[in-house]
């Protein structure tokens, strides 16, 4: 299992990579958002910073890109923007790139939202695959982000894989362990943070209501890949404390890997 941390979407990406490297993380979750918009990303500098610390990277795009918009033109624009990020990920040797769920307003049925997102993925995913990048689907926290709809989207888009954001999966009455189990066949990346079950707080591990011992036991039974500590705090000691706790809990969890 590899532990990573994300860059801040509004801060200097190179400084953030340096902090992540100096503090012994295994990889960087590159938040490719406004301050690092596709036209202004210096891939040479980022590659150099990653190389200096022996870090690998996964790509992450803005959660508000309207891939499921009611308006075709907005969806098409969102896909065009995402294609530019795919090329950046390819250049940086990031083989995974996160795209978030996006749903139309209440005037539209969930089924229509599934179809709008599918239209976007059917253009984006083959383009990404041609460039050596797999798109992973991070569910957000609306009632439409339920198991049934996520399964429909994954079934309709065989080139798309699943990104489990454990904090998001603890909202809207959902149980994150159930979702990890349900989508383990397509799970490629995890975001880890805690909350009170009501608000998307991005708290350090153990400061909300998630049963981490039970969750890690289950996750470790079929997963051994990247976990990003997506903890929002200006005081980074909380991120480092979560890193130590995750490693301890993971190493001490008695679960035996399944044959899957």
Residues in touch with Zn ion (CB under 5 A) = 165, 191, 230
Q: Is residue 5 within 8 Å of residue 245, measured between CB atoms?
A: no
Q: Which is nearer to Zn ion, 47 or 142 (CB)?
A: 142
**153 or 169: CB nearest Zn ion:** 169
Residue 33 or residue 230: which is nearer to Zn ion going by CB? 230
Provide the minimum distance between the beta carbon of 230 and Zn ion in the complex, in angstroms, as a whole number.
Answer: 5
CB of 71 to Zn ion, least distance (A): 25
- Nearer CB in complex with Zn ion: 191/243: 191
Separation of alpha carbons 230 and 212, rounded Å: 15
Rg of the chain in Å (alpha carbons): 18
Q: Least Å distance between CB 190 and Zn ion?
A: 9
Backbone dihedral angles phi then psi of residue 202, each to the nearest 5 degrees = 50, 50
Query: What is the distance between the alpha carbons of residues 114 and 100, in angstroms, rounded to a whole number?
Result: 13
- Shortest Cβ distance from residue 32 to Zn ion (Å)? 14
Q: How far, in Å, are 11, 15, 122, 187 from residue 49 at the CA level? A: 15, 9, 34, 28
CA angle 71, 77, 82 (to 5 degrees): 130
Smallest distance, Zn ion to C-beta of residue 29, A:
9
Helix (H) or strand (E) holding 29: strand 27-32
CB of 138: closest distance to Zn ion in angstroms?
A: 6
Which residue, 127 or 238, is less far from Zn ion as judged by CB?
238
- The residue number whose beta carbon is nearest to Zn ion equals 191
* Cβ–Cβ < 8 Å for 38, 81: yes
Nearer to Zn ion, 11 or 72 (CB): 11
> What is the number of residues in the chain?
260
């Amino acid at each position: 299992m590899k532990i990573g941390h994300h860059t801040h979407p509004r801060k200097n990406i190179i400084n953030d990579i340096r902090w992540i490297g100096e503090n012994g993380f295994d990889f960087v979750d590159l938040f490719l958002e406004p301050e690092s918009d596709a036209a202004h990303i210096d891939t040479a500098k980022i590659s150099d910073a990653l190389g200096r610390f022996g870090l690998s990277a996964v790509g992450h795009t803005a959660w508000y890109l309207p891939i499921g918009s009611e308006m075709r033109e907005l969806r098409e624009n969102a896909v065009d923007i995402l294609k530019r990020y795919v090329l950046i990920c390819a250049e940086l040797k990031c083989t995974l790139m996160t795209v978030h769920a996006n749903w139309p307003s209440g005037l539209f049925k969930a089924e229509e939202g599934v179809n709008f997102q599918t239209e976007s993925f059917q253009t984006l995913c083959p383009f990404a695959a041609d460039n050596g990048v797999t798109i992973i689907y991070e569910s957000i926290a609306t009632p439409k982000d339920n198991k049934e709809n996520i399964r429909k989207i994954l079934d309709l888009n065989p080139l798309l894989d699943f990104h489990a954001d454990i904090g998001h999966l603890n909202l809207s009455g959902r149980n994150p362990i159930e979702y990890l189990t349900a989508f383990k066949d397509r799970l490629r990346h995890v975001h880890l943070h805690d909350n009170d079950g009501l608000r998307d707080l991005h708290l350090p591990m153990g400061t909300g209501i998630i049963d981490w011992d039970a969750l890690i036991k289950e996750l470790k039974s079929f997963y051994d890949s990247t976990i990003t500590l997506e903890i929002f705090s200006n005081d980074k000691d909380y991120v480092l404390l979560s890193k130590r706790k995750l490693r301890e809990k993971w190493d001490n969890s008695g679960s035996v890997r399944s044959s899957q």
